Amino acid sequence: MNGGLARGKAETTILVNPEAKKMCHVFLTTLNKKLSESDRQVLTPRIEAWKAAHPRPPVRSTEEKKKIHLTRRLAFEISSPSYMDPPYDIEGIKAIIVAGADVNLGKGLMVAAAKRGHLDMMQVLVEGGGNVDIVDAKGSRPISHAARKGFTDVVKYLISKGAKINIKDGNDDPVLSRAVEFGNADI
């Protein structure tokens, strides 16, 4: 992936095109050679202050890298076309979770299962440590997606596992009002 952002659990890492990085290095090296000693004395504290305010992301351990890899694999398994319609490899997905994938890292796993109404997958994710109140990029929770699409069994399961129903989602609507709005008042 050249350019763009890669989002991790607690930090954002900017991935830079290698050619752009080389050009910046050449520019800074050339600029550094042309600076006078007085310029260096003025700029050095500023550069050091900037470095202190913008620390490099920590180097990830092998264990953390493994967990991220497994989580990406899990996300791929869940979002692949074979997952859309059962039968899907639920045992394979359980094995990925047991191996160490973090079901909350991508935020989209619980939402994907809720949007598609896959109760069995939702159960596997919750048993694997999935947060029933995880918020996706748009501020919505799994329960609001399931309610909007009319998946009563998923909504009941999420409530039984402690999903909050009297809070507002990303559209500033009460979670279960999405069900009524989309014609699923039986929820």
For the segment 148-187, what is each residue's pLDDT rounded down to a tens digit?
888 989 999 999 999 888 877 766 677 777 667 766 666 6
Q: What is the mean pLDDT of residues 21-26?
A: 73
Domain ranges of the chain: 5-53, 62-181
Least confident of 6-10, 51-55, 57-61, 136-140: 6-10
Q: Please tell me the pTM assigned to this model.
A: 0.58
What Å distances lie between residue 3 and 47, 59, 148, CA to CA? 24, 20, 35
pLDDT digits (tens, 9 = 90+) for 105-118: 766 778 888 888 88
What is the pLDDT, as a whole number, of residue 81?
57
Residue 147: its pLDDT value, please? Answer: 86
Q: Which of 161, 162, 160, 159 shows the shortest CA–CA distance to 176?
A: 159
CATH class as words, domain 62-181: mainly alpha
